[in-house]
Structure formats: structure tokens, C-alpha cells
């Protein structure tokens, strides 16, 4: 099965309590396993030496840690259908500046915290959302006008949202190789 679903005996989705995206105090629990990829690179300088057949490589700096997280939204009820739409709007908002101003023209988007078991490490990863992408498939059922009794219609019962994020750290918590080996983040 491509997607891991957590359901109860009645067929309703259960939240995976150790797999979530936290936005402020709100946790968006996954109820299907997301597709996650995690990448990081290191940059090396080359030093040529007289009489050497190969250059010497010296570590210069580490690059961005990029995390891709694909959320699979399914609806098992009208309530879940509306929840999925609300969560899509929350995810979309993470790429826009906030309007709560304190003598500033804008406030940057929220920083999120990511956790999915031990996949990304033993504790939450702070990240910024660089982009999202959603495609609404036409090969699945959609809600019809009037079905939801809330003026909302044409919501697919399944869609995916792809998030591209960069891990961020304050200068006191930058990871080193020893910490990555022990904690994973």
C-alpha cells in the first residue's frame, strides 16, 4: 500500500500523534504517513599541491538542509473534507507575510516545527516553508454544491500538498556531526 493509513474499527482516520507539523501552538497531526525527503550538502575547496596527482580537499561550509514533505489528504466524512480544506489554507499561509505589525511593515511567515517519529531525528526540527504545491486530481470524487451546507463546494476527497522547507537553527543550536549521529538533528 503506497500510503499508510491509521484507521479505527469504524474506518475513520486516527491521528498519528508522533507525526505532525506544529505551527505556533497548533499541531497539524498527520493521519496518513507523509512522503518525506531530507537532503544536506557539504562544500569543499580544492588545494593543488606540487607533485600531487590529486588535489587536497578542505571542508569549507555546509549547505542548506532541505526537507520535502508531501501530505496526502483523504476525506472519510464531511467534517474531514472541511478540515482538509482548512489545513490547505493554513499551509498556503506559511508562504505569506503576517499582517500583525509592531512598527514593522510586515512580519515574516511562521516558522514550523516538524516531527515524524525518528525519521528526521529525535526531536522537532524548526523549518521555514519555501514553497507549497497542490494539484487537485480529477480522477477522485469531489463534493457537490450544497452537499456541505456551508456554502463550500467542489472539494476533492483526495489531494496532495507538497511542501519544500529549509531547516533553520539559531547560532547556539547549529548541529555538528556528533549530534547528528546521536540525535539525527
Q: Which of 180, 138, 144 is nearest to 159 (CA)?
A: 138
Region 134-154: mean pLDDT is 81
pLDDT in tens, 90-138: 999 999 988 776 777 778 888 999 999 999 888 899 999 999 999 999 9
Mean pLDDT (the chain, rounded): 84
Q: What's the Cα-to-Cα distance from 138 to each of 83, 107, 156, 159, rounded to whole Å?
A: 20, 37, 8, 10
Residues facing 70 on adjacent strands = 35, 162
Handedness of CA 180, 182, 184, 185 (dihedral sign): negative
pLDDT in tens, 64-78: 999 999 999 999 888
Structural class in CATH, domain 16-46+55-183: mainly beta
- Spatial contact of 34 and 69, defined as CB atoms under 8 Å apart: yes
Q: What is the pLDDT of residue 177?
A: 57
Q: What is the pLDDT of residue 4?
A: 54
Residue 44 to residue 32: CA distance in whole angstroms = 39
Residue 70 to residue 14: CA distance in whole angstroms = 18
pLDDT bin (cut points 50, 70, 90) of residue 6 is low
pLDDT bin (cut points 50, 70, 90) of residue 154 is confident
pLDDT in tens, 14-70: 888 899 999 999 999 999 999 999 999 989 998 887 877 888 888 888 889 999 999
Domain ranges of the chain: 16-46+55-183
Amino acid at each position: 500500500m503506497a500510503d499508510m493509513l491509521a484507521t479505527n474499527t469504524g474506518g475513520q482516520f486516527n491521528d498519528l500523534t508522533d507525526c505532525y507539523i506544529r505551527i505556533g501552538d497548533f499541531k497539524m497531526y498527520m493521519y496518513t504517513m507523509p512522503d518525506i525527503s531530507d537532503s544536506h550538502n557539504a562544500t569543499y575547496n580544492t588545494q593543488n599541491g606540487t607533485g600531487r596527482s590529486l588535489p587536497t580537499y578542505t571542508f569549507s561550509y555546509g549547505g542548506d538542509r532541505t526537507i520535502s514533505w508531501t501530505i496526502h489528504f483523504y476525506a472519510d466524512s464531511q467534517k474531514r473534507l472541511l478540515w482538509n480544506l482548512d489545513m490547505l489554507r493554513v499551509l498556503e499561509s506559511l508562504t505569506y507575510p503576517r499582517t500583525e505589525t509592531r512598527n514593522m511593515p510586515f512580519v515574516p511567515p511562521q516558522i514550523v516545527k516538524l516531527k515524524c517519529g525518528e525519521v528526521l531525528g529525535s526531536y522537532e526540527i524548526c523549518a521555514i516553508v519555501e514553497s507549497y504545491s497542490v494539484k487537485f486530481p480529477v480522477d477522485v470524487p469531489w463534493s457537490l454544491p450544497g452537499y456541505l451546507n456551508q456554502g463550500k463546494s467542489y472539494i476533492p476527497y483526495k489531494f496532495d500538498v507538497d511542501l519544500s522547507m529549509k531547516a533553520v537553527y539559531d547560532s547556539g543550536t547549529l548541529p555538528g556531526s556528533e549530534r547528528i549521529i546521536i540525535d539525527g538533528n
